Amino acid sequence: VLRVYKAAVQQTLDILFLPEGREFLTSTDAVSRDSADRTVIAWDFQSAAKISNQIFHERYTCPSLSVHPKEPVFVAQTNGNYMALFSAQRPYRINKRKRFEGHKVEGFAVGCEFSPDGTLLVTGSSDGKVFFYNYHTARIVRTLSAHEEACVSAIFHPVLPSLLATCDWTGEIKIWQ
């Protein structure tokens, strides 16, 4: 063990290193009726210090985080049935003009990911569908009826970007082209 980071919150849901590796983000389920601080926490990798715990101010947990492959931004999948876009540079401000809406999370830990070229954002949905969003417009460009159960993950192949893997709540995995 090289370092230990103490969030002093409940469960950590996801970890995301930012592009240069000096900082990383964690998402937690530390949301109450009165406060949403600590939902997304930024950490300094070297010192183990918290940089910010006031990144996301809405009262939803964020089960998944994904960094854009070419731009200094990241998205947080929220249990509010949308993905929020943030700057990946301090002070990690939310983009209030762009939200990726239309899919359903409904308490599932649904993942999200950018395509290797950064033009698409893909996510599963609690209704078994996969949603493809145009990153620049935040509009849905395609919906795929992938599973009969909640689709909790959709991920592009790292070498063959025309391939997509999906999986559902019951463990069924499908590869799509």
Phi, psi of 14 (to 5 degrees): -155, 155
Query: What is the reported pTM?
Result: 0.91
The pLDDT tens digits for 45-76 are: 998 888 988 788 888 889 999 999 999 999 99
Q: What is the pLDDT of residue 172?
A: 97
User: Do residues 45 and 22 lie in contact, with contact meaning Cβ atoms separated by under 8 Å?
Assistant: yes
Q: What homologous superfamily does CATH list for 12-176?
A: YVTN repeat-like/Quinoprotein amine dehydrogenase (2.130.10.10)
- Ordered by start, the domain boundaries in the chain are 12-176
- Residue 29's pLDDT band, with cuts at 50, 70 and 90, is confident
The pLDDT tens digits for 111-130 are: 999 999 999 999 999 999 99
Residues counted in the chain: 177
